[in-house]
Amino acid sequence: MFTGIVSDVGEILGVEQRGDTRARIRTAHDTGGIEIGASIACDGVCLTVVALGEDWFEVDYSAETLAKTNLGGWAPGRPVNLERALRVGDELGGHIVSGHVDGVAEVVALSDEGDSTRITFRAPEALAKFIAPKGSVALNGTSLTVNEVAGRDFGVNLIPHTKEVTTWGRVAVGDAVNLEVDTLARYVARLAEAG
């Protein structure tokens, strides 16, 4: 489990095709405190650490992960939002995030509003029903509040702090973004269907 509060912006050092895909990611986290088998959310995708170095870790991901996320666009030099797994007693500053990405949304518009940036995303049709105004979503692993919804499109507002401590300061129209809908919204929708 994660909270959607990004704790480091790592950098993809390399991507290697094997039976699955392996990526090496530079991190400012103390890798001495990371164990093989630990879960780290990488752009919102819960991945398992399979190798460690002084300032890097490696993860493997399968064809299924590539099909459901934006990880196919990972290349050396790309920044990536990182969050270590939640521990008992940690502050829950965002919302409960599983790291199980539901699909990929597309950035369709950007506009500055004061010092903040309004971003409009287009969700896949099957996920749009789970996104509600003032609800939570995880986008590239960042817990964000939905401002408005119009069909498949929804907007969020990013304050300067969020843009400085995550990859959101580099966002552009056309970017593919990992989307995880709020778990509560998923269960409410399921209950409504059953009722």
> What integer pLDDT is reported at residue 195 of this predicted model?
66
Task: Provide the sign of the torsion angle of the four alpha carbons 108, 159, 3, 77, taken in this order.
Answer: positive
Q: Is 74 helix (H, G, I), strand (E, B) or coil?
A: coil
Residue 58 CB neighbours (<10 A): 19
Contact 58, 12 (CB under 8 A): no
Cα–Cα distance between 76 and 188 in angstroms, integer? 40
Q: Is the pLDDT of residue 85 over 80?
A: yes
> What integer pLDDT is reported at residue 137 of this predicted model?
97
Q: What are phi and psi of 84, to 5 degrees?
A: -75, 155
Q: Within this chain, do residues 77 and 126 fall inside the same structural domain, yes or no?
A: no
Q: Is 35 helix (H, G, I), strand (E, B) or coil?
A: coil
pTM comes to 0.93
Type of residue at 23 = A
Cα–Cα distance between 65 and 111 in angstroms, integer? 31
Type of residue at 81 = N
| CATH number, domain with residue 163 | 2.40.30.20
Q: Within this chain, do residues 54 and 119 fall inside the same structural domain, yes or no?
A: no
Looking at every residue in the chain, the average pLDDT score rounds to: 93
Give the number of domains in the chain: 2
112 occurs within a structural domain: yes
Q: Is the pLDDT of residue 93 over 80?
A: no
1 occurs within a structural domain: no
Contact 13, 26 (CB under 8 A): yes
91 occurs within a structural domain: no
Q: Among 22, 51, 84, which residue terminates a domain?
A: 84
Residue 154 CB neighbours (<10 A): 25
Per-residue model confidence as pLDDT tens digits over 147-189: 999 999 999 999 999 999 999 999 999 999 999 998 777 777 7
Per-residue model confidence as pLDDT tens digits over 114-134: 999 999 999 999 999 999 999
Structure tokens of 87? 């521990």
Q: Within this chain, do residues 123 and 59 fall inside the same structural domain, yes or no?
A: no
pLDDT band (50, 70, 90) for residue 18: confident
Contact 30, 40 (CB under 8 A): no
Q: Within this chain, do residues 73 and 136 fall inside the same structural domain, yes or no?
A: no
> What integer pLDDT is reported at residue 168 of this predicted model?
97
Range of the domain at 60: 8-84
Per-residue model confidence as pLDDT tens digits over 49-74: 999 999 999 999 999 999 999 999 99
Cα–Cα distance between 72 and 69 in angstroms, integer? 7
pLDDT band (50, 70, 90) for residue 30: very high
Contact 60, 50 (CB under 8 A): yes
Q: What are phi and psi of 20, to 5 degrees?
A: -115, -170
Which residues, 6 or more positions from 145, have their beta carbon under 8 angstroms from its beta carbon?
134, 135, 136, 156, 157
